[in-house]
Chain A
Amino acid sequence: MNERWKITVDRGACLGSGVCAGTAPSHFRLDDGRSRAIREDIEPDDIVLDVANTCPAEAISVYNAAGHRLAPDTT
């Protein structure tokens, strides 16, 4: 599997709840009270999809290599 995903965090939208860092500490950390992706370019990992769908601010987005947004599901 050479597929890569990209994580973006909108630090302006982030409310600092810490849901992401508490759920997936290998992918997110809080920096000055707001979330940051530890690495933006990652191997596919379903936990980041769950985290993006759990963020109360919908500040986290996950894209596949083709640029298609995998999460959050905002329908």
Chain B
Amino acid sequence: MADATVARSYPFGPIHGLEIDPMYFWLQEHEPLARVKLPYGEEGWLLTRYDDVRTALGDARFSLAEAAVRDVPRLTPQRYGGILTDQDPPEHTRLRRLVAKAFTARRVEQLRGRAEQITGDLLDEMVKAGPPADLAQALAVPLPGLMICELIGVPYADRDQFRDWVGAWMSVTALTPEQRGEYIAQLAGYVAALAAQRRQTPTDDLLGALVTAQEEGDRLTEDEVVQLTLVILAAGYESTASQIVNFTYALLTHPDQLALLRSRPDLMPGAVEELMRWVPLLAVADVLPRYALADVELSGGTVRAGEPVLLAKHAANRDPRRYDDPDRLDITRDAQGELGFGHGAHHCLGAPLARMDIQTALTALLQRFPNLRLAVPESELEWKTGMAVRGPVALPIAW
């Protein structure tokens, strides 16, 4: 049983690169239900074991809606959350099913050809400019951005402007709350205008489908249409871009795995699952703590009704109770069940699209560049700081 009287200060300390603080693994072993205090909000329990994290993600006794009305443990004065992430089933399900259609594995597969074409065009430009190139700017950032534009239905002529807004909004450089609010307001205004056009002229893109759902009954308000579009952007853009960079970095620094994947392109889908498991996208626990609605028995003790839990998904994905030799990157491993995309009712809506974007990017890089390599020594890479998603600021490559 954990000692409920002493709360550790969280997050633990500075981290470098894609390292995971050893404290997580100590807790996993000795204190699977660890009391923590974040800079803001009430104290909570930090979960580090795979089974516990998976239970908190997938079990309906853990609520996100409750987090919206509580003094939730958090890193910043403002709480993170909004439409979809502040709701539990069945309210959450009512909204999610309207957007889920656009993101099924089958619908996303229909976009693969388009993703390959965009990737090819971006790599053509990169080659034309010559090495070295920053993989982030050349491919990893524009590809998911353009694919989301395709899906939402942002007209071609508006895409540069749209990308600038989203880029500024997602930027890792510190924006003041006022600046951030301004960008979001501009973006929201733009999406509202695009939705208004679709009310005049229906389209078969995601925004068109949301507008139709709005018109066909009172299922969706105009504000919900805009908020759903923004949350899809916020959740799907920077994370996918960062993982394309991180996964490429991971392969380049694990030459045996890179060589294996080159010789066995059929391993790509499984390799992406394993990279999802192995690469810690977030520096800290999931930004969305859950609240227990009832007493729940976990491996380290009982979480009482009304208590919040923080989920260290990156540590859970390295739990030796679930994965043999968990720190080893092994693209032949069955990584199914990894928690990078979450689990349960809030499992990442865009997971099929993210997988397809990443598979397409990595496949093209390996096929076109037999001599792909880092253009600077690994020790010279500059890493993003702060609490946003992790990754190198830039990934200079040569070929």
Q: Contacting A23 at CB < 8 Å: which of B89, B105, B351?
A: B89
Is B104 an interface residue, CB under 8 A from the partner?
yes
Q: How far is the CB of A65 from chain B (nearest CB, A)?
A: 23
Q: Are A25 and B60 in contact (CB under 8 A)?
A: yes
Cα(A12)–Cα(B371), bound, Å: 38
Q: Are A53 and B101 in contact (CB under 8 A)?
A: yes
B128 contacts which chain A residues (CB < 8 A)? Answer: none
- Whether A18 touches B347, Cβ cut-off 8 Å, given contacts A56-B105, A57-B104, is yes
B189 contacts which chain A residues (CB < 8 A)? Answer: none
Q: Contacting A22 at CB < 8 Å: which of B59, B341, B351?
A: B59
Is A64 an interface residue, CB under 8 A from the partner?
no
Is A24 an interface residue, CB under 8 A from the partner?
yes
Taking CB as reference atom, which chain A residue is nearest B344? A22
Q: How far is the CB of B78 from chain A (nearest CB, A)?
A: 27
Q: Are B344 and A18 in contact (CB under 8 A)?
A: yes
Q: Are B345 and A22 in contact (CB under 8 A)?
A: yes
Is B57 an interface residue, CB under 8 A from the partner?
yes
Is A15 an interface residue, CB under 8 A from the partner?
yes
Q: Mark A18-37, 1 if CB is under 8 A from B, else 0.
A: 11011111000010010000
Q: Are A19 and B347 in contact (CB under 8 A)?
A: yes
Cα(A5)–Cα(B103), bound, Å: 26
B343 contacts which chain A residues (CB < 8 A)? Answer: 17-18, 22
A38 contacts which chain B residues (CB < 8 A)? Answer: none
The size bracket of the interface on B is 20 to 34
Q: Are A47 and B90 in contact (CB under 8 A)?
A: yes
Q: Mark B328-339, 1 if CB is under 8 A from A, else 0.
A: 000000001100
Q: Are A54 and B100 in contact (CB under 8 A)?
A: yes
The listed residue with most B CB atoms (<10 A of its CB), out of A16, A18, A47, A57, is A18
Is B106 an interface residue, CB under 8 A from the partner?
yes
Is B79 an interface residue, CB under 8 A from the partner?
no
- Whether A56 touches B351, Cβ cut-off 8 Å, given contacts A17-B343, A33-B336, is yes
Q: Are B93 and A21 in contact (CB under 8 A)?
A: no
Is A50 an interface residue, CB under 8 A from the partner?
yes
Taking CB as reference atom, which chain B residue is nearest A15? B105
Cα(A65)–Cα(B97), bound, Å: 24
Is A73 an interface residue, CB under 8 A from the partner?
yes
Is A7 an interface residue, CB under 8 A from the partner?
no
Q: How far is the CB of A14 from chain B (nearest CB, A)?
A: 11
Cα(A41)–Cα(B57), bound, Å: 28
The listed residue with most B CB atoms (<10 A of its CB), out of A24, A30, A50, is A50
Q: Are A56 and B345 in contact (CB under 8 A)?
A: no
Taking CB as reference atom, which chain B residue is nearest A21? B58
Taking CB as reference atom, which chain B residue is nearest A75? B101
Give residues of chain B (217-270) contacting chain A, Cβ–Cβ below 8 Å.
none
Q: Are A24 and B344 in contact (CB under 8 A)?
A: no
The listed residue with most B CB atoms (<10 A of its CB), out of A19, A25, A73, is A19
A53 contacts which chain B residues (CB < 8 A)? Answer: 97, 100-101
Q: How far is the CB of B204 from chain A (nearest CB, A)?
A: 10
B90 contacts which chain A residues (CB < 8 A)? Answer: 23, 47, 50
A25 contacts which chain B residues (CB < 8 A)? Answer: 59-60
Q: Are B105 and A58 in contact (CB under 8 A)?
A: yes
Cα(A15)–Cα(B272), bound, Å: 14
Cα(A55)–Cα(B103), bound, Å: 10
Contacts A22-B346, A33-B337 known; list 9 others, CB within 8 Å: A19-B344, A19-B347, A22-B60, A22-B344, A30-B58, A54-B93, A54-B100, A57-B105, A72-B101
Nearest first, the 7 A-B pairs at minimum CB distance are A22-B344, A22-B345, A17-B347, A53-B97, A23-B89, A18-B344, A54-B100
Could you tell me which A residues sit within 8 Å of B by CB distance? 15-19, 21-25, 30, 33, 47, 50-51, 53-58, 72-74
